[in-house]
Amino acid sequence: MIVGVGVDVVDVARFVETLARTPALRARLFTPAEAEFADQSLAARFAAKEAIAKALGAPPGLGWHDAEVVKEESGRPRFVIRGTVEAACTAAGGKHVHLSLSHDGGLATAYVVIEG
């Protein structure tokens, strides 16, 4: 059973400009491991965090670091969820979170499907 679906699209250049204008934002949005990625990958990770929030119905109080995007050995992205995001996912009946990322043509996109 599908519990939630979320999608988000980020303009990479605009996102990079925002990070340059507000340097503290990088640490607020991303874990130290995530913050090391290149601009396109960071934009995709931001899109992923927005998409999971949308899939959960955008409940208040979700922590940015509580939905960390990591790469499996194969290169496939996946979430490590904890804290506020894990609690919201559990409350929604979510058992599995599926993630797809893409970036091309100056846009980064993330799709999230939460399965119960």
Q: How confident is the model at residue 16 (pLDDT cuts 50, 70, 90)?
A: very high
Stated pTM of the model:
0.96
What percentage of the chain exceeds 90 in pLDDT? 100
* Three-state DSSP state, 46: helix
pLDDT tens column, 74-104? 999 999 999 999 999 999 999 999 999 999 9
Number of domains in the chain: 1
Beta bridge partners of 11: 107
pLDDT tens column, 40-53? 999 999 999 999 99
Beta bridge partners of 102: 109
Domain extent at residue 63: 2-115
* Three-state DSSP state, 109: strand
CA pair distance 22, 84, nearest whole angstrom: 25
Angle made by CA atoms 39, 27, 104, in degrees to the nearest 5: 20
Q: What CATH number should be reported for the domain holding residue 96?
A: 3.90.470.20
Residue 90 identity: T
Length of the chain: 116
